[in-house]
Chains A and B, each alone.
Chain A
């Protein structure tokens, strides 16, 4: 078996090597599928359903890009990556785009040679406690035992925050979110800290969710977004503007339901340019003019994607908060389509 697989891969290698020098867009078109790196499972952001179809907020970005480039949101190969393997998978070309709730930081952008396409979720580190503890603010956590995932930025943020507020804490190191849930419920720690979206998702799974609260303090900035390799400007533009198209669509009130109608009837020149009925924006990306229409139809605009995967109607129940449009007091602000 070893040899035969080897041969198969060798022949694949020979094929693949032919395209290696071409641009990512041409690679993806030639392959017919988009290779998208996702996490092995984060509630609401990426997880396979019982039919093996990937669902989630990060997954929706991949589907939108696939729809824009290939015309079919289902033509995505989801490649599972862990925290350790994600960057090398992207750097080596195993995946075309990484949508794996990855925080945009200086060193990842400048040193690891990636280009972030934008921010699809503004997260921040929060705290969850049992109501019985009688705490209503993170400032009252002096002396608490804290469950914390090791080797993450949350660990450093926690140390900084407690030091800045002149408080003491006792860390309980844990490896995964699932382990944290068990430890926290078993009473091994008073406080569980991780990204606020993760806390909300975790709390939603408790049998007695009403007995636990997420404290109001957010102690760090975690802008999560999709990223691509540096050096292929065309491809990073496609990823960036697909995300912007989803955000702009929400701002202009374009939804997956009314998009067909709007494409025909709208008089708003900005929407016309976005939907490709006016101007040649798609050509500038190396795509056709319908690219944004397909991307929006794949899973809806940003607001629809948010609502169906992690919004208040879902068990995770995240409020828009920072992730509202700039017109609604949030941070989402798509540059003009012009």
Chain B
């Protein structure tokens, strides 16, 4: 049978045609270009326009950047080296980078802010990434005191005495909870800690200091500046505004009239006032209210104001997350017999915070960038320093180079935060699509 077929159908191929490459218009770069850049008349026009713009920008800025001068001691010297050609004078960054980073912090003590920065990365690592050992969180809790001591210097006993306040509060709680209910014990513990902090911590720490001297050279706040100042204000504000914002958001949704009224009043007042007004209040108005000669640390005042400001926005972002949760979640928590705090901690907040991540990170980034507003109250953040640097005879007249540098640094920080938030969203994604 097979023979007959072989004779009657002479043109049937018995082998497969070799696979051919797809037409050049359907593969690789050409296809990508056709699909993405030249798919329609409008797209062709837009592509040409965009390429033209990019080329124009590169043609104009490229030579200026390529011609950069990095080694000079003044703008005049830069211009001499450039000899009439257009070029950037990044020598100003080289000459003043330590000021842009640390302000007027004593140069032989730069290791302290650097160490504080490295330790900060260690301290936030267990908060950012859950694969790390959980014990590290203890270091994170201690870190604020370590950082304070490293940055401001002075006696180690002061931060230790402040930590002691927590021990006093805990001790009071344990002692009182045997006698009374847990709520009363909690109030007593808080009172005990406050009494310790306000009246006892300072004398105790100075007494200990005179007994065993454990101090490093103190650095006054006015020597702080540059990105160090931005990071101190930004990171402290971020770390404090999240818990405060959560409390405010819960307070606003609370059934208790007083708490609700206070939360609403606080949030609406702070949101209704520009940050710059709060900063002016911190730097100017407080001076009139406090007794003359009082030196209420200016950085502390700014941190408080920035934190309060960010907390109000944070509260509204988190309230959005709380509102987005289906009512069934609240009811389920109640049905399980959980009390309010347990329900919030175990069921409501984890979901609400997850929903709010983009908004929270948005507020963080905004807060970090808002730290540049302190220039208006005379603190030398990077923008303020750029004014001061330009006021020096050597560098007067320089403009773009400083702002490009500051802009790039801020971009790195803010872009980093934004990427982390995207990573976090992906990791926490539990919905099924």
Contacts and interface: CB of A to CB of B under 8 A. Distances in A.
Partners in one complex: yes
Interface of A: 1-14, 16-17, 19-20, 27, 39-52, 55, 77-82, 84-85, 88-89, 91-94, 176, 178, 181-182, 201-202, 204-207, 314-316
Interface in B125-167: 144-145, 147-148, 152, 154, 158-159, 161-162, 165
B378 A201 contact: no
Contacts of A81: 378
B287 A41 contact: no
B172 interface: no
Interface residues of B, number: 65
B214 interface: no
B293 A17 contact: yes
B283 to A, nearest CB: 6
Interface of B: 75-76, 79, 95-96, 99, 103-104, 107, 144-145, 147-148, 152, 154, 158-159, 161-162, 165, 197-198, 201-202, 206, 220, 222, 236, 240, 280, 283-284, 287-288, 290-297, 299-300, 303-304, 307, 375-380, 384, 387-394, 396-397, 399
27 contacts: A1-B148, A4-B158, A5-B152, A5-B297, A5-B299, A7-B161, A9-B300, A13-B295, A16-B294, A16-B295, A20-B291, A27-B293, A40-B380, A40-B387, A40-B388, A41-B388, A42-B391, A43-B392, A44-B393, A80-B379, A84-B284, A85-B284, A92-B288, A93-B293, A178-B399, A182-B399, A205-B396
B258 to A, nearest CB: 25
Given A4-B159, A7-B202, 6 more contacts: A1-B236, A6-B197, A17-B293, A17-B294, A39-B391, A315-B393
Contacts of B158: 4, 7-8
Contacts of B300: 2, 5-6, 9
Q: Which of A14, A94, A204 has the most CB of B within 10 A?
A: A94
A314 B99 contact: no
B96 A47 contact: no
A151 to B, nearest CB: 13
Contact of A176 (B197, B201, B387): B387
A29 B306 CA distance: 35
A176 B296 CA distance: 30
Contacts, number: 176
A41 B222 contact: no
B292 A20 contact: yes
A322 B268 CA distance: 55
A14 B291 contact: no
Contacts of B284: 84-85, 88, 92
A103 B165 CA distance: 50
Contacts of B290: 13, 92
Nearest to A88: B284
Q: Please classify the interface of chain B as helix (H, G, I), strand (E, B), loop, or mixed, using the class held by over half of its residues.
A: helix
Contacts of A315: 76, 393, 396
B283 A85 contact: yes
Nearest to A314: B393
Contacts of A206: 397
- Which residue among A6, A92, A315 has the maximum number of chain B CB atoms within 10 Å of its CB? A92
B297 A9 contact: yes
A43 B393 contact: yes
B396 A43 contact: yes
A82 B279 CA distance: 13
Which 8 interchain pairs have the tightest Cβ spacing? A41-B391, A205-B397, A92-B287, A20-B293, A47-B391, A11-B202, A41-B388, A1-B144
Contacts of A42: 391
A50 B379 contact: no
A82 B377 contact: yes
Contact of A204 (B152, B376, B396): B396
B423 to A, nearest CB: 27
A50 B96 contact: yes
Nearest to B383: A40
